[in-house]
Structure formats: C-alpha cells, structure tokens
C-alpha cells in the first residue's frame, strides 16, 4: 500500500502534491478512501468475530495450570549453544550427547555466506561466526571441512578474529586464544568506585552490571584452560593481525575512547606488579555482590550473567556441590531445551511479560475476571509484585517498593515495562476491586512508576537517568548495552496506562513525558523502537499512548506519525520491518509483513482516528486471512529486540496475542 494520511500543515505542502508525487494520497483525519466505507466494512463483522473467538480459544488453551503463559523465547545466531559447548570444555564436564545435539542446532543457523548472523536473513556477524567456529572445533570439526573453510573465509572477510567483541575475546582468552594482555581490562577495583563518583557500577545498565561483576572476577583470576591437543583456531586471525585500539584512527588519538583505552593499558601494567593493594578486597566485594544475587532465577535471570557467575565461582575455587554454585548451574541449565536431535537455549524466561500481554488482549477482547482462567491469571500476576528493594533502589531510594519483573524470579530487577503492562492487564479484565489486594498493588505500582521517571521526562527500563553516554566509550562496552536511557516506546506505554487510571493530561509528569516524546520524533514522523522492531513498534506505542492520555490526535505532529505508518503498508495489506533498520535507519518500516508488526501498525492508526480508513480495513483483512484454523498465526521473522545491533529475540507469542489485541481495538472503535 502506498497511500498515506499526512498533515498538510506539518508537511509544508497544503495541496498534498508532494505526497502524491511519492505515490501517496493525503486524506483528512477520519475520512475513508476510495469507495470503501465503514458501513461496507461491516461485512467483515462475522469473520472478525470468528477470528477473535478462535484467537481467544487458542490462547486459553495454552495457559499453564498455575495461571500464566510463557512462550518460547528464541535467539537466532546460535551463540548461546556455542557458549554452552565452550562452558562444558572449560569446566571439564563435556556431555557428548549435548555437544552432538548442539552442533546440529548451530549448523541449522548457518547463513548462505557460510557464517552466522544475528537474525533471520542477516549478514554474518564476526563474533557469532567465531563462536560457532570455535564450538565446532571443540566438537571435533577439522579446519579442512568445507563448512569450516567457508566460516573461516567469512571471518577473514570481516577483518579476522581481532574484530570480535570484548566479551568474546575474554571467553577465548580463557582458552589461550587471546592473551589476557590482549583483552580489555575489567578490573574488580571497579567495585570500589563510590556511588557519588561520576563513573561507577551503578551508572551501568542493570544487565551490564550483572554481566560485568562476575567478569571482573574472571579477568582478575585469568583462568587458562588449555585446548585439547591438535585444536586451534589461529587460522581465524588476519595476517597481519590488527590488535587493540588503533591510536591513529579518527576517534583513537583523542577523546573518551583514547582516555579509557589508556586506563585499560595502565590497569594491564599494574597487573604485572607483584603487589596489588586493593585486589583482595575488591575481589571479595565483587564476590559478595555476585553471591547476594545468585538467588532463585539466577544472577540477573539472563543467560550471559548466569553463565559468567558459574565461571567466576569456578575461578574462585567453589566446588561443584557448593550450594551457591549448584544453584547457579541448575538455574543456568534450566534455560536449555533438549529435543531428540538438538539442544537450544532460551536467553531467559518471559512468563510475566507473556501473561500480562496475553491477559490484556483477552481482557480487551471481552473476557474478564469472572472467567475462571482470567481470574487465575490475575491472581498469578498479582502474586508476582516485587516488594524487594533491588538494584534500582541504589539510584532511586524512595518508597513505595513495588514493581513486576519479566521472569519467574528476578527480585533484584523489576522493570517499568513489565510493571505497567501487568497493571494494564489487571485493569482490562476488571481485577481491581474484584480480587483482594489488586487495587492496593496497582496503587503501589503507579507510585513506583512515577518515582522512576527520568530528569528528561522519559522512562528507561530498569533504572532512572541511566544515560551517561561516556560509558559507551569504555573498551568493554562494544556490546551496545551499557546504558538504559529513556525511550519513546516505554514512555508512551506509561501514558497508555496513566490515562485510563485517571492521571490527567495536565499532570506535571505527563507534560514532561509528552515533551520528551516530541523531541524523540524522527524527521519522517516515526519513532525509534528500543524494545521491539523497530520504528513500527515505537510509532504504534506513541500514538496509542497519546490517545489514551487524552491528547488531541488531530495535531499535526501525531498525524505525521500516522502518515508514516500509512506510507509503509505492504501490498498484501500488512506491515513489516526487518532488524536491518537498527543498523541502517534508511530501511525504516521495510520488511515482509508479520502478524505482530501488522497489529502494532493497526493499533497506532486506530488510536490516531483512522479505524474507518481503507488501509486499516486491509490490515484487518490481512490478519483475518493469515490466521490459522486453530486461532494462531505464523511468523518467520524476529520482531523482538534485546540489544540493538547485537542481539535480537523471537517472542513466539507476539504473533498470537498482539493480533487479538488489534482485532479487539478495531471491533470496539
């Protein structure tokens, strides 16, 4: 579809000629295009009702007995399985069956170029490809194998093994592939930086902190596990090698990159000294911090930090049967799924997130807490409120202590996105006032959300004002996830909840949030999506949030957002966007149609006042016609974001509950 609704005023084109020259047709807000009217669309009512009913039945049939939903959370590049094979060799506990099945999974993710990418259809990524190559070598593959030759050629084409990210270098240093003097310094003395100091561990994103603290132990102890005889991956180094930061590069001679590089080199020099006065105390502090957080769910409840905790405890000499090490290993292994012929890992579990969105969709579709399964879901979610003062409390030591986390257990890391989604779900099904304690929990949650608003008016995920960009310049920060800044998608979701629960449009927090969102708008009219792929996700959430808080949706800046959504509709009536748009913003909104992204675009356009538009009806038709007989949808592409440009996620339930939410919004408009 190439038609669009754009504001003549905002576009500076009162006659709409510029849009028409692009193949777009500008249409006033709330009017229909062509000969299709809302009355014509009533012919879809029967199919719409049936699609909603099928979706309801499908989702209800997949609820767990305890009341929650939890879809498989997948990754594409094979790095988790590659890391597991490496971990088994490091610990000296190789399960040959797991290696064999892991190899099958890794090979299934190889791309046409012979390497491994980060998402379906992605070009090769050097770190993912090196990890896969190393795992295959450990599994017995020869460098002369055609698969290995192709992977080696890909690595060399991308610049060789020196181009891998810092975490990969550190893992490979554990086997002597890199020397410890060749990897970025991650000294445990970081733990002694006071919270009042400009740079300290509490200024990092929560997930980086959980990954890096055990990594400081690994770096300080510098373990070395010799590779089995005859195994080497030296062929992946370029010739000549390109080691370290290029001090002659544009960013290397001056600025923060050079400053932190110099600090890293100083730390490595200090490492050579026989006496390190702070080392014993700093290691003890890092160990204490880590052990305190090795709780049910694991350290940070995500794969990288959980694996690092196991390695760190091994480096510190913890026996396999030590309660903390055993707990850490058990939680880590719980992420593995073993099938007849392969193994795979989830990066974490997503029950609170999936249950909240599924309940929200079912609630909006007409099922309330009087339905026994919905009541069970509401009670399960209410019981997951986190009353523990976790890491966020260091930056925001205020009451009340509340919030919800993403996983089954993760008491140190509730987040605002899960919190607001749970609260919207409970509200949508009528749980407040119907189930004891829900209203009180939601009141605490709302107050907690207000305390987490940043100075810029927006919200990040886990911390407030976690936005010191200098952290992105440290040598070990190349995983593109050192910060957790405010984002338009999260901020808009706050507004989506605030409106229905009575927070007025003129509330100071709302005014600041709207100003932040306006500043974040892209020139095309869309918004960046940090937590979903990508600009479709961000734009939908902004339009939905603005409508729910009571903003005048006719305003030109909002209609520019709607116009952008119209302009990127695919010919099949759906919407889609590839993860490529994170790396290449010129690819905004371009990609094959998917159920989840189509649902997002539709909800954005409906919120902007365009439910009667032909393009919206075409999108509804797309969802209805692509629904499977059992009420599900198929989706081959990744629409979830872990770390932009580094790690992407397959939320396997997005394809099912977001379409139900969109169909319900359309029905009720």
Predicted local confidence at residue 12, as pLDDT: 31
Question: Residue range 388-395: average pLDDT?
Answer: 90
Other CB atoms within 10 Å distance of the CB of residue 341: 9
Confidence class for position 202, pLDDT limits 50, 70, 90: confident
Among residues 539, 547, 540, 536, the alpha carbon closest in space to that of 570 is found at 536
Mean pLDDT of the residues in the chain: 88
> Which of the residue ranges 265-279, 343-357, 466-480 has the most confident prediction, judged by mean pLDDT?
343-357
* Residue 338, beta-bridge partner list: 343
Looking at residue 17, its pLDDT comes to 28
Q: Which two tokens stand for residue 183?
A: 């990897």
What ranges do the domains of the chain cover? 31-73+349-668, 76-345
**pTM of the shown model:** 0.89
What pLDDT, on the 0 to 100 scale, is given for residue 265? 57
Average pLDDT over residues 308-314: 97
pLDDT of residue 180: 92
pLDDT over 60 (residue 558) = yes
DSSP 193-249: S-TTSSS-GGGS-HHHHHHHHHHHHHHHH----PPPTT---GGGS-SS---S--TTS
| Structure token digits, residue 444 | 């605490």
In terms of pLDDT, which residue wins out, 385 or 10? 385
Q: Helices marked H in 322-366 — which ranges?
A: 323-333, 351-365
Write down the pLDDT at residue 198.
67
Which residue did the predictor score with more confidence, 425 or 270? Answer: 425
pLDDT at residue 57 tops 70: yes
Which residue would you say has higher pLDDT here, 251 or 112?
112
Q: What is the pLDDT of residue 28?
A: 36
**pLDDT mean over 571-591:** 96
CB atoms < 10 A from the CB of 630, how many?
Answer: 10
Helix, strand or coil for residue 200? Answer: coil
- How confident is the model at residue 476, as a pLDDT? 61
pLDDT tens sequence across 630-649:
999 999 999 999 989 988 99
Query: For the CA atoms of 624, 627, 633, 635, what is the dihedral angle to 10 degrees?
Result: -70
261 confidence band (pLDDT: 50, 70, 90): low
User: Average pLDDT of 172-184?
Assistant: 93
Of residues 572 and 395, which shows the higher confidence score?
572
Kindly report which listed range (25-39, 275-289, 342-356, 434-448) carries the lowest average pLDDT score.
Answer: 25-39
- Whether the per-residue pLDDT at 437 is higher than 50: the answer is yes
Confidence bin at 475 (pLDDT 50/70/90) = low
Task: Choose among 514, 559, 617: nearest CA to 38.
Answer: 617
Helix (H) or strand (E) holding 495: helix 488-498
**Does the pLDDT value for residue 535 go beyond 90?**
yes
Confidence of residue 262 (pLDDT cuts 50, 70, 90): low
Q: What is the pLDDT of residue 432?
A: 94
pLDDT above 80: residue 88: yes
Question: Looking at the predicted structure, is the pLDDT value of residue 449 above 60?
Answer: yes
Tens of pLDDT, residue by residue over 285-294, are: 999 999 999 9
pLDDT given for residue 395 in this prediction: 83
Average pLDDT over residues 248-265: 50
Mean pLDDT of 587-596: 97
From 3.40.50.720, 1.50.10.20, 2.40.10.10, 1.20.1250.20, which CATH number describes the 76-345 domain?
A: 1.50.10.20
Is 162 considered catalytic here? no
Report in angstroms the alpha-carbon separations of 424 from 105, 126, 190, 356, 548: 38, 41, 39, 8, 12
The residue from 391, 417, 478, 489 that is catalytic is: 417
Task: Name the residue with tokens 């896969």.
Answer: 132
Write out the two tokens for 375.
Answer: 């009541």
Structure-token pair, residue 492: 């808009």
Q: Which CATH architecture has domain 31-73+349-668?
A: Alpha/alpha barrel (1.50)
Mean pLDDT of 338-361: 96
Name the band, by pLDDT with cuts 50, 70 and 90, for residue 40.
low
Whether the domain at 31-73+349-668 and the domain at 76-345 fall into the same CATH topology? yes
Mean pLDDT value of segment 241-267: 51
pLDDT exceeds 50 at position 439: yes
The pLDDT of residue 614 is 95
């Amino acid at each position: 579809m190439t038609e669009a609704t754009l504001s003549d005023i905002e576009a500076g084109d009162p006659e709409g000629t510029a849009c028409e020259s692009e193949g777009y047709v500008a249409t006033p807000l709330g009017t229909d295009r062509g000969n299709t009217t809302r009355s014509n669309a009533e012919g879809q009512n029967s199919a719409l009702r049936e699609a909603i009913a099928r979706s309801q039945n499908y989702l209800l049939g997949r609820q767990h007995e305890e009341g929650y939903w939890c879809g498989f959370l997948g990754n594409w590049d094979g790095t988790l399985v590659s890391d597991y094979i490496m971990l088994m060799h490091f610990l000296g506990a190789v399960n040959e069956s797991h290696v064999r099945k892991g190899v099958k999974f890794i090979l299934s993710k190889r791309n046409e170029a012979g390497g491994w990418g980060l998402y379906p259809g992605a070009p090769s990524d050097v770190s993912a490809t090196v990890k896969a190559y190393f795992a295959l070598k450990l599994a017995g593959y020869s460098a002369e194998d055609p698969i290995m030759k192709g992977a080696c050629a890909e690595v060399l084409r991308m610049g060789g093994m020196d181009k891998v990210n810092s975490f990969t270098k550190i893992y490979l240093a554990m086997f002597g592939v890199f020397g410890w003097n060749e990897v970025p310094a991650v000294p445990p003395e970081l733990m002694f930086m006071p919270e009042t100091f400009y740079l300290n561990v509490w200024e990092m994103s929560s997930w980086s902190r959980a990954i890096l603290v055990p990594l400081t132990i690994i770096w300080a102890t510098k373990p070395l596990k010799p590779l089995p005889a005859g195994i080497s991956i030296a062929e992946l180094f370029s010739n000549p090698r390109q080691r370290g930061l290029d001090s002659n590069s544009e960013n290397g001679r001056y600025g923060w990159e050079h400053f932190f590089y110099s600090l890293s080199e100083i730390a490595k020099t200090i490492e050579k000294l026989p006496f390190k006065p702070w080392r014993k105390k700093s290691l003890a502090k890092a160990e204490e911090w880590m052990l305190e957080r090795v709780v049910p769910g694991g350290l940070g409840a995500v794969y990288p930090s959980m694996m690092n905790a196991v390695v760190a405890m091994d480096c510190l000499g913890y026996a396999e049967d030590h309660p903390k090490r055993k707990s850490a290993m058990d939680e880590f292994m719980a992420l593995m799924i073993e099938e007849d012929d392969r193994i795979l890992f989830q990066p974490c579990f997503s029950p609170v997130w999936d249950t909240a969105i599924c309940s929200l969709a079912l609630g909006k579709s007409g099922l309330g807490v009087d339905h026994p399964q919905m009541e069970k879901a509401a009670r399960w979610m209410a019981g997951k409120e986190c009353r523990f003062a976790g890491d966020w409390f260091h930056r925001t030591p205020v009451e009340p202590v509340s919030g919800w986390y993403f996983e089954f257990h993760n008491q140190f890391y509730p987040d605002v996105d899960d919190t607001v989604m749970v609260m919207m779900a409970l509200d949508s099904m009528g749980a407040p006032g119907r189930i004891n304690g829900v209203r009180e929990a939601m009141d605490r949650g709302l107050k907690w959300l207000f305390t987490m608003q940043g100075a810029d008016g927006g919200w990040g995920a886990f911390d407030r004002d976690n936005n010191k960009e200098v952290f992105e310049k440290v040598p070990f920060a190349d995983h593109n996830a050192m910060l957790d800044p405010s984002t338009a998608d999260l901020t808009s979701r706050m507004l989506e909840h605030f409106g229905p629960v009575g927070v007025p449009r003129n509330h100071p927090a709302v005014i600041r949030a709207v100003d932040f969102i306006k500043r974040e708008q892209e020139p095309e009219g869309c918004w960046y999506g940090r937590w979903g792929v990508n600009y479709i996700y961000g734009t939908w959430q902004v339009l939905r949030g603005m409508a729910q808080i009571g903003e005048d949706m006719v305003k030109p800046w909002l209609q520019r957002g709607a116009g952008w959504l119209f302009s990127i509709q695919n010919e099949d009536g759906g919407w889609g966007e590839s993860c490529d748009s994170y790396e290449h913003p010129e690819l905004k909104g371009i990609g094959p149609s998917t159920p989840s992204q189509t649902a997002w675009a539709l909800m954005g356009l409906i919120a902007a006042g365009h439910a009667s538009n032909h393009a919206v009806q075409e999108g509804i038709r797309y969802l209805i016609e692509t629904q499977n007989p059992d009420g599900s949808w198929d989706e081959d592409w990744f629409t979830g974001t872990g770390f932009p440009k580094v790690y992407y996620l397959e939320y396997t339930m997005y394809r099912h509950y977001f379409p139900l939410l969109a169909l319900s919004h359309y029905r009720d408009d």
